[in-house]
Structure 1
Amino acid sequence: MPYLHRERHATGRMGWLRAAVLGANDGIVSTASLVMGVAAAHATPSAILTAGTAGLMAGAMSMAAGEYVSVQSQADSENADLAREKEELANDVEGEHKELAAIYVGRGLDPSLARQVAEQLMAHDALDAHTRDELGITATLRARPLQAAAASAISFAAGAACPLLVVAWAPASGLLGWVFLTALVFLAVLGGIAARTGGASVRVGALRITVWGALAMAITTLVGTLFGGAA
């Protein structure tokens, strides 16, 4: 019985982790910035909540559509490469064998051993061998448009809901401060969780996402204050 050594690597989560973190981060930052900008322009609490809710819906749909189109483009490129590889394997098996062996030589194998490895792998599954070792396409990192779109939309909505709940419950007199501080806490938690899940430093992950979020909210609040004063 072959020995199975099971390991869990962070790269196995890349397909959904990137989309989920991006969506949640964008949901928190854009919605918090939006409500702070509207609040700084002296809008009523109901108008602020309405603007934030509209931003949640629009942002979730935009994230889903954008992520789907982007990842689908990657999937189209992968499918085109796979179709080309199938054609090459059908028309020039010997040339593809030499090409695969040359890849293994480049990775450090002895030429004779590289030829044996290439021969055995191609006998087992020629397309899989070339897909993985020539094209660099693996099952773990394959483009999954629907998964990415769903992860982006759901995570954006979840992130955007956080500052909206603060708007609904915080006193009108201190709304800007409440939204700003709680958004920073949400971002720090998100950055820490994302870094921990991805195998990176929790402190660094929390810090970088918080700094960029604070900058975005500060700029939006300034714009709202300027336009609100002008009005």
Structure 2
Amino acid sequence: MDAASDALSSSHPDEPHRAGLAQRLNGLRAGVLGANDGIVSTAAVVVGVAGATSESLPVLLAGTAALVGGAISMALGEYVSVASQRDTEHALIEKERRELADDPAAELEELTGLYQAQGLSRETAEKVAEELTAKDALGAHLAAELNIDRDDVVSPWYAALASAVAFTVGALLPLATMLLTPHPERIAFTFAAVLMALAVTGYLAAWIGGARRWKAVVRTLVGGTLALVATFLVGSLFGTTIG
């Protein structure tokens, strides 16, 4: 880290100016969303099965299957999504590298124009473009044109692992609650535990994205409640029909 970066980090230590920000935010996002999905999907399964039977073994089997299958599915989906993003970023970086090698003068003029478009005078924009090009031409163009940091390209493995672990942790909450509480109260306890957990994940997801916290919490709670009620009613209907 150079002197300018040191000064920036020390003057505003709570602001996201550090390298690796995209990696950390992507992992955090994948973790929060994975936990949310683990909570809702597994809770829906165990509540549905519990609505059909009072026995614990079917709940355990169905909940475990939902946990394992869901964690693998989340990890694969996150890996494919982030790998596609990474491949696109690498392709853009290589394209910019070729353009700089083929016609550096045109690229310098393009960079100057970008800074002019941001409000700088022609003279100032030229000076900024020249100084940044002299220091790191590729980095300057990636930042100004594409908002990419070549040293902070997201890792699909990191996102997949974060998603799988978070899904598993989230899924364990409704499964454990359902299995460890007595039969008459277990559905009510699971509802309560799931809704409290969803309030937390909804708040965190909004915080990461800079959105309104309580609006996201309400939206998450409404969605989770609908999922639980729907699967409980389906389970109860099948339980009544079979019985």
Q: Which residue of 2 aligns with 1:23?
A: 34
- C-alpha displacement of 1:140: 8.4
Q: Which residue of 2 aligns with 1:134?
A: 145
Correspondence for 1:7 among 13, 16, 28 = 13
Is 1:144 the equivalent of 2:150? no
**How many Å separate the matches in 1 of 2:60 and 2:28?**
29
- C-alpha displacement of 1:194: 4.3
Q: Which residue of 1 aligns with 2:115?
A: 104
- C-alpha displacement of 1:188: 1.6
Deviations 1:47-67 (A, max 9, x none): 101110111111111111110
The answer to whether the 8 Å contact 1:10/1:198 transfers is no
Letter of the 1:55 counterpart: A
* Structure 2, unpaired ranges of 5+: none
Quote the sequence identity (%). Answer: 45
Structure 2 counterparts to residues 114-193 of structure 1, below 5 A: 114-138=125-149, 142-193=153-204
The answer to whether the 8 Å contact 1:23/1:155 transfers is yes
**How many Å separate the matches in 2 of 1:151 and 1:218?**
29
Q: 1:61 to 1:38 in 2, by over 3 A?
A: same
Correspondence for 2:86 among 64, 70, 75 = 75
- C-alpha displacement of 1:228: 3.2
- C-alpha displacement of 1:24: 0.5
Deviations 1:168-191 (A, max 9, x none): 211112222221121111212333
Correspondence for 2:95 among 56, 76, 84 = 84
Q: 1:40 to 1:190 in 2, by over 3 A?
A: same
**How many Å separate the matches in 1 of 2:112 and 2:49?**
62
**How many Å separate the matches in 2 of 1:139 and 1:227?**
55
Q: Which residue of 2 aligns with 1:61?
A: 72
Q: 1:141 to 1:15 in 2, by over 3 A?
A: farther
The answer to whether the 8 Å contact 2:43/2:190 transfers is yes
**How many Å separate the matches in 2 of 1:32 and 1:175?**
12
Q: 1:191 to 1:101 in 2, by over 3 A?
A: same
TM-score of the superposed pair, with normalisation by structure 1: 0.91
Aligned residues: 231
Query: After TM superposition, what 4+ stretches of structure 1 lie above 6 angstroms from structure 2?
Result: none
Q: 1:189 to 1:165 in 2, by over 3 A?
A: same
Letter of the 1:227 counterpart: F
Alpha-carbon RMSD: 2.2
**How many Å separate the matches in 2 of 1:147 and 1:55?**
22
**How many Å separate the matches in 1 of 2:63 and 2:15?**
37
**How many Å separate the matches in 1 of 2:16 and 2:55?**
45
- C-alpha displacement of 1:43: 5.7
Letter of the 1:63 counterpart: M
Higher mean C-alpha displacement, 23-32 vs 139-148: 139-148
**How many Å separate the matches in 2 of 1:106 and 1:130?**
14
Letter of the 1:7 counterpart: P
Q: 1:145 to 1:76 in 2, by over 3 A?
A: same
Is 1:208 the equivalent of 2:187? no
- C-alpha displacement of 1:17: 1.9
Letter of the 1:183 counterpart: V
- C-alpha displacement of 1:98: 1.0
Alignment partner of 2:146: what SS? coil
- C-alpha displacement of 1:6: 3.2
Deviations 1:149-208 (A, max 9, x none): 111011100100111111221111222222112111121233334445666554334322
